[in-house]
Structure 1
């Protein structure tokens, strides 16, 4: 019977050893799974932070584009007004030159009638008086 007891004792030890290994593996697997979940959660938190940062940055860019577009539209409007004024003044000058030409023909007295410059050909050569150009600091808002 002693040999039976030895066999049963050995098998019990083997069973306890296997059971102990199994328990240690389960604990190790649980710990590994817990660490994996923590890494996954940390990664998700980092991604959410990055999304919030990129959304904020995108909103700032959109606001900058909107303000730049608003400035552009204002400058374009001002430019159109100036073009219309230039056309009106050019028409007036042509009318006055026509009157001077008729007077020159009628009186025989020579008038110095300047040629009307074409501002689209050489705008840098336009005769202009020294007049200050008014501008404000917030006219161009660049960052």
Structure 2
């Protein structure tokens, strides 16, 4: 049995704050080759997750908020925003299920945000055709401005 508690969330969030990418995951699956990936993802407000899609028809992705708030953005193939939603632990909307083939990203809207993620394994890095060609690369100067524009979608 593997019990998940608040102390784990605190450690994971602290590790995300100290990480260069401002995020940290805690895998529950035993190996990257395992058939079902289950993990906690701690994401801080300055992390940039480049919009992407999963081409594999077995790679639908589910995210359930454990703590904090996150904005989810879905795009069309040309990078136009198709829908946005705030998902929040204990909120009206607390989870999202993203079908394969759909460009998407997630934006942390408050410090200490953690979500549970599940999708089919094995782990494979995103391919060039899965990364949104219209979105800046992670770590690029343009990604900071792009993230700010995405965050603005969730501010009144």
- Tell me the TM-score normalised to structure 1 length: 0.19
Structure number with greater CO (CA < 8 Å, separation at least 6) is 2
Q: Which protein is richer in strand relative to its size?
A: 2
Q: Which protein is richer in helix relative to its size?
A: 1
